[in-house]
Amino acid sequence: MLYGALEAGGTKMVCALGDENGRILEQISIKTTVPAETLPAIADYFRDKKIESLGIGCFGPIDLNRESPTYGYITSTPKTDWMNCDIVGYLKKELNVPIGFDTDVNGSLLGEVTYGDSKGLSDVVYFTIGTGIGAGVMAGGRLLHGMLHPEAGHMIMERVSGDNYAGRCPFHHTCFEGMASGPAIEERWGQKAVELSDRDEVWELEAEYIAQALMNIVCVLSPKRIILGGGVMHQMQLFELVREKLEKKLNGYIKAPELKDMENYVVPASLHDDQGIMGCIKLAIDAASEG
């Protein structure tokens, strides 16, 4: 059986065909421009592929409430061309197959807990730290949506003393994304993040903000593991720094075996940047079995 997978991002749309084991059989990338151009190109790709169902992991904010009249819409996104775009409705009409729909980060998380090193874990948080910061949450084996979906990239940060950067989130300025996203690093230090690799102070500070966010997440959600992905986390030296700082912030308060093994508590994504699209295959498989 063939399943369609769409990782819908602000810069590109990755479309793939997968099998029941999450294997990617073929994959293309379509540039994200305006819906009137991009959506028909997506539909054209999938149209003759005889897919059983389609799974979409989508940039947001999106409406995941099946009771809502705008279910399946991209809602208040800063990418104004895509605001109030009925992406699920459009593809349902064009392809007429069951559609699974979730956030891009929940998609990546689902990929990791289905096919990656975190296979079988029931309580996991996945952060992507890139152009923006987003978090996917699985609690008790279910992807968490709540009233909308988690927006943990916008949790408030305590400013690190000596850091005078104004923050770049237009809504909250100094939230996690405002202080620690790739563009925030680049604006603060005046250089491409990838070119800052050997500047220790850059990653010390970055790890400090990431550890703050993780401290909050550990206290609020009690995950059994936290996965960190996204472009910024290609700086592998961050992992050790974040583990040390998180341990320090927790200060021995929470007693759990998982926290004694930090190496396996704060981990990189394990699917070589395929976690997103593989998660979308799983969203499709689940949508097909739900009918």
Strands ordered across the beta sheet of 124-129: 142-143, 133-139, 124-129, 225-229, 266-268
237 lies in the binding site for ligand ADP (CB under 6 A): no
Q: Is 12 in the site for Zn ion (CB under 5 A)?
A: no
Mark the segment that binds ligand ADP (CB under 6 A) among 82-90, 93-101, 228-236, 263-271. Answer: 228-236
- Looking at beta carbons only, is 64 or 179 nearer to Zn ion? 179
- Is 85 one of the binding residues for Zn ion (CB under 5 A)? no
DSSP result, 157-226: -PPPTT------BTTTBSBHHHHHSHHHHHHHHTS-GGGGTT-HHHHHHHHHHHHHHHHHHHHHH--SEE
124 versus 129: smaller Cβ distance to ligand ADP = 129
Compute the least distance from the CB of residue 264 to ligand ADP, in Å.
Answer: 23
- Which residue of 228, 232, 241, 266 would you call a contact of ligand ADP, by CB under 6 A? 232
Binding-site member from 154, 230, 265, 267 for ligand ADP (CB under 6 A): 230
172 forms part of the interface with Zn ion (CB under 5 A): yes
Nearest alpha carbon to residue 74 among 3, 27, 13, 144: 13
How far is 207 from 102, CA to CA, in rounded Å? 28
Asked if 169 is part of the footprint of Zn ion (rule: CB under 5 A), the reply reads yes
Radius of gyration of the chain (CA): 19
Eight-class DSSP state of 2: -
Alpha-carbon torsion angle 275, 276, 280, 282, nearest 10 = 20
- Which of the choices Zn ion, ligand ADP, none does residue 175 contact, using the CB cut-off of 5 to 8 A by kind? Zn ion
Residues between 92 and 121 with contacts to ligand ADP, criterion CB under 6 A: none
List residues binding ligand ADP (CB under 6 A): 9, 11, 130-132, 182-183, 186, 193-194, 230-232, 234-235
